[in-house]
């Protein structure tokens, strides 16, 4: 009898092991399919991995911009469960502010390194303030009066604000993509590592993102306001009973999300050296996808999601065809939603049906 049950257990074991494995690593396997397949392909046809390495690096630097935007999405969603459609456009306004401010303080491609760094730090501050206060204003004007309204009402208001901001961008810089001054010589190679060319732009994007993400993580986990944000996200009523000013906390969340979008806006402007009134819409959709991919409400998840989407985009642009890239990104999103709806790092969030 004992042996019978043992064999029974043994028979069931492989299936269970497979399922457990898939639950845990299935998503990661899915995400690794493309890089690994193309890596093998490269090794067989070209003999080295430099092409894949370049794809990955480009992906990480592009993705780190998406990551900063995605954090704003995820913070706001975590706390008020609103898909803030205007967030991408706040990012766009941040980019425009930064691009305009370069001229105001007289930064040109010829500015020396110390002046450039000082100027860029100042621009960073201005862009963050502009985007942050804009996001704060939108929350006060459009979302706060709608708390308690049907859940979709703020969504429509957000769409409305997104249109308004896009129109502002259109009036500001016209309908076409506009090239702006290439302050950091973005596409110039800084160093070549094993066939992978690291450009100034790549370095900048990663150098801006890492400290900001670390600061955010510390802020959320250590500070009083961060704790208030977590408490409000978990249960606004209880948070209020505990003496947390929920309104202030929500405002702070929007402010912080907007500031990160502003930082992303500056990075985007320096990295791409092109700005466009519609860039926010595209970035918003991508960043939103990133936030969901990582597990919405989860800051590390948003960063991870942003980086992954950046890599998928670059590989797809390089190998499959750039016209299919958006479809591929969304196909990944669907697969992840179906097989691991909580995302890469997320757990079930508060549901309001």
Partner 1 sequence: MLSAVGIAACGDDDDDAGSDATTGATAGGELTIYSSLPLQGGLRTQSAAMVNGIRLALKEADNKAGNFTIKYESLDDSTAQAGNWTPEAVSANARRAAQDDSTAVFIGEFNSGASAVSIPILSDAKVPQLSPANTAVGLTSDEPGAEPGEPAKYYPSGFRNFVRIVPKDTIQGAALATVMKEDGCTKVVLANDKEVYGAGLARNVVAAAEAQDLEVLFNEGIDPRAANYRALASRARGQDADCFVFAGTTPNNAVQIFKDFGAALPEAKLYGPDGVSDSAFADEGEGGIPAAIASRTKITVATLAPASYPPEGREFFRQYAEEYEERQPDPYAIYGYEAMRLALDAIERSETGEREDIVKALFDTEDRTSVLGTYSIDDNGDTTLTDYGVYTIDGGELKFDQTVTAET
Partner 2 sequence: MTGDAAAPRRAPAPVRGPRTRPRAPKLPRRARVGLAAAALLGGAILPLFLASGGGLIEDATLALAYVVMALGLNIIVGFAGLLDLGYVAFFAIGAYTMGYFGSLFHINVNGGEGIHVLVSGVAAELPGIHLNFLLIVVLAIIATTIAGMLIGLPTLRLRGDYIAIVTLAFGEIVGRIAINGDEITGFGTKLTNGRQGITPVDKIDLPFLDPFTALNLRPWYWVAFVMVLLVLFVNFRLRDSRLGRAWIALREDEVAAVSMGVPAVKTKLLAYGTGAAFGGISGAFLGSYLNTVNADQFQFSFSIFILAMVILGGLGSIWGVVVGAIALSFINNYLIPDVLNNVPARIGLDFDLTQLSFGIFGFLLVIMMVLRPEGLIPERRRQLELQEGIEDLAVDGDDVQPAVRP
The binding site for partner 1 (CB under 8 A) comprises: 51, 54-55, 58, 62, 65, 163, 170, 173-180, 182, 187-188, 268, 272-274, 276, 278-279, 281-283, 313-315, 317-318, 321-323, 325-326
Contact pattern for partner 2 over residues 50 through 89, marking x by CB under 8 A = ------------------------xx-xxx-x-x------
Nearer to partner 1, 173 or 300 (CB): 173
Query: How many whole angstroms separate alpha carbon 122 and alpha carbon 128?
Result: 10
Nearer to partner 1, 82 or 180 (CB): 180
Nearer to partner 2, 56 or 315 (CB): 315
CB < 8 Å & 24+ apart, contacts of 38-46:
38/315, 38/319
| Cβ-contact 263, 128 below 8 angstroms | yes
Which partner in partner 1, partner 2, none is near 104 (CB below 5 to 8 A by kind)?
none
* Shortest Å distance, C-beta 306 to partner 1: 12
Number of C-beta neighbours around residue 195 at 10 A: 13
Query: How many whole angstroms separate alpha carbon 298 and alpha carbon 319?
Result: 31
Residue 242 interacts with partner 2 (CB under 8 A): yes or no:
no
Residues 6+ apart with CB under 8 A from 94: 127, 128, 130, 131, 258, 261, 262, 263, 264, 265, 266
| Cβ-contact 77, 295 below 8 angstroms | no
Which partner in partner 1, partner 2, none is near 333 (CB below 5 to 8 A by kind)?
partner 2
- Three-class DSSP category at 191: strand
Nearer to partner 1, 240 or 319 (CB): 319
Q: Any bridge partners for residue 189, and if so which?
A: 199
* Shortest Å distance, C-beta 330 to partner 2: 4
| Cβ-contact 74, 213 below 8 angstroms | no
Residue 323 interacts with partner 2 (CB under 8 A): yes or no:
yes
* Shortest Å distance, C-beta 339 to partner 2: 9
Residue 92 interacts with partner 2 (CB under 8 A): yes or no:
no
Query: How many whole angstroms separate alpha carbon 265 and alpha carbon 162?
Result: 16
Residue 243 interacts with partner 2 (CB under 8 A): yes or no:
no
Number of C-beta neighbours around residue 266 at 10 A: 28
Which partner in partner 2, partner 1, none is near 62 (CB below 5 to 8 A by kind)?
partner 1
Residue 117 interacts with partner 2 (CB under 8 A): yes or no:
no
Nearer to partner 1, 111 or 279 (CB): 279
């Amino acid at each position: 009898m004992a042996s019978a049950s043992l064999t029974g257990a043994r028979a069931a074991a492989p299936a269970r092991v497979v399922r457990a494995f898939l639950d845990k690593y299935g998503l990661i396997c899915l995400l690794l399919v493309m890089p690994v397949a193309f890596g093998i392909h490269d090794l067989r046809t070209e003999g080295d991995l430099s092409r894949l390495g370049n794809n990955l690096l480009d992906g990480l630097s592009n993705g780190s911009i998406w990551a900063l935007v995605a954090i704003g999405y995820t913070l706001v969603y975590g706390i008020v469960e609103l898909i803030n459609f205007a967030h991408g456009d706040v990012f766009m306004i941040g980019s425009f502010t930064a691009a305009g401010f370069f001229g105001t303080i007289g930064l040109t491609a010829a500015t020396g390194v110390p002046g450039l760094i000082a100027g860029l730090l100042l621009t960073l501050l201005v862009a963050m303030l502009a985007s942050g206060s804009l996001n704060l204003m939108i929350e006060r004007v459009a979302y706060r009066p709608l708390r308690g309204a049907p859940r979709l009402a703020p969504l429509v208001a957000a769409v409305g604000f997104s249109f308004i901001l896009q129109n502002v961008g259109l009036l500001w810089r016209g309908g076409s993509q506009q090239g702006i001054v290439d302050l950091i010589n973005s596409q110039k190679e800084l160093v070549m590592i094993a066939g992978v060319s690291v450009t100034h732009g790549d370095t900048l994007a990663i150098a801006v993102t890492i400290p900001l993400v670390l600061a955010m993580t510390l802020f959320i986990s250590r500070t009083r306001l961060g704790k208030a944000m977590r408490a409000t996200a978990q249960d606004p009523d209880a948070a209020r009973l505990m003496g947390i000013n929920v309104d202030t906390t929500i405002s702070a969340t929007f402010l912080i999300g907007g500031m990160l979008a502003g930082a992303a806006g500056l990075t985007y402007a320096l990295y791409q050296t092109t700005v466009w009134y519609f860039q926010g819409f595209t970035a918003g959709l991508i960043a939103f996808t990133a936030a969901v991919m990582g597990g919405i409400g989860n800051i590390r998840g948003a960063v991870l999601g942003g980086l992954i989407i950046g890599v998928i985009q670059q590989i797809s642009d390089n190998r499959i065809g750039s016209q299919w890239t958006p479809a591929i990104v969304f196909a990944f999103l669907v697969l992840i939603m179906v097989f691991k709806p909580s995302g890469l790092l997320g757990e079930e969030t508060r549901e309001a049906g």
